[in-house]
Chains A and B, each alone.
Chain A
């Protein structure tokens, strides 16, 4: 949403409009705010139409806002309709038809939008007969199999009855098509068909191939012209009865699922697990029936309310990859899912896309692009790199990949200036201080779990233990720790823990988790003799307890100090005691208090004269740490 100074100037006379736009820029997924904005604009259209008409910049801004919403969420039927209405008021018919065309192009599985579009086209005579017929054919191809698609069919039949007439072949062919589909209103179409069948020959009604096989089974050896009128009628009746029965069964079967669907339209609210489960159940049923076009149609419908979740996308794509050769369609579907609908925090569909390129199309450059873009989009996460390395291992072999990863690390740390090939060069381009250490982990992982070479894995890890690269990498240290834990190598675990607890620049929770696991490991694998009450074990207990006071966390204190010495941190704790962030350096203190436990009854002499420190400075002002910074 454009929030530049220019637009603010433009909206100077419409403060509410400007305010709503600013609110939406903060939260562009709030259906209520969008509703308010559109209602506001509708109000403007109703009251200040001339102002809008004379100011093309305002109209453009308005249209841009609508387009940005509908590009991000193309399935908001209601907003399309309101956009059309507003555009009609401002720009007139032509503008509104253009929007409707856009609408059916972006949301082709919307029966409602098709009906609107077709109605406008027909009632205003915008197109000639063959064009309208084509448009109807497009519409029914997209939505004609939807359970509640009768408005489109009715419109189509009505139009054709007026143009070609009910006795025309064009008209009956529509009916012959519609009765094949399990629709809610299927019975009506059968009635209409029965009413007019007498106007047509049996060749008009039954496809030649089908007719031929019917003849074969009912009147073997005879020709059609050999039959009398009754026999022909029997033939036709039994044919349509069969279709009717099958349609009836299919509708009844589907009714069970259709009647339970509570969420069929898209809105900006979450989809409940129940709704999701209902769709999945229905889809499973439809898949089991095996009618490819019907399955596709249902998926297209299901993907309207659930388009923001990858669940049904994944299911649909898996179905298509298994059952369809139309790779172009699959790729377009992947693109639609990844680019428009599924949010970036749902990575599975992206990885599936990459796998599809890798395994089905063997198009490695595309696969790599997807992996690399995933790493770039999630610069601090470990998983995208792991997936890419898995992919590389599969293609280039474990040994080669491992070697190249280490070479890449040398390039990254500027040890060498070797040229890298595209696979690793592009990886280099998306590395940063957070994820570079993952390459060490991945190289070690290849050695450990793929090549089963524990020693080589350990060599890789050890080579980097003291480098800047891994110092603040949670992935590196937890992997190294888990690796040695699996090897039950207590000595190395101790080394890792020692390093991490004093030098690790990791989150405290992460370090404490390692310390906890290490302590558990000692208790599980040590002997009673090794578990002496040594200071170290006690400190491990103190360090990770939430109950412990700060000053008992010795490793934390050591980490906070430059030379691993707790004293400076202790001093700071004392200075800020009672008021973290506020330093009072000079607290008055009695230097020679009387031993409280010494009995008064046994006291022989008067107490010593008290001696003090800092009494004269008791009233010195406090120092606020933040003040230091600004000064």
Chain B
């Protein structure tokens, strides 16, 4: 089947940065003051990526709290945490000078079933954010990456539902 191979963050970063360069060439007149030190605009999808990164960080916080509240769930939750880490790695690297934000640790009930239900809700929320990001992305390559993030999140959410019995 035809894929559109990307080489992780480098290519994705180029995909994000390219529209800014093209826009500068095609649209913008030369600056009247060449010594102007105005801060350049970020790539057009950078804000969108930041939103998905923040959602991933929030979901990671829920998972960490869940593992703390119910350590027996580790075999179920570890694959989800691994996927989030890989998604963060690619998306954070795609935006120059970006930093991983922090999220407040949520308070979860001590019962495993309730913990799992919280994680499931958190993953559904992340899925909606990734999906929205995919649909709004100007870069087709970024849209493809976010579509894969959404598909992975949906897979893991289904696996969590299966493990909940």
A in complex with B: no
Give chain B's interface residues, CB within 8 Å of chain A: none
Give chain A's interface residues, CB within 8 Å of chain B: none
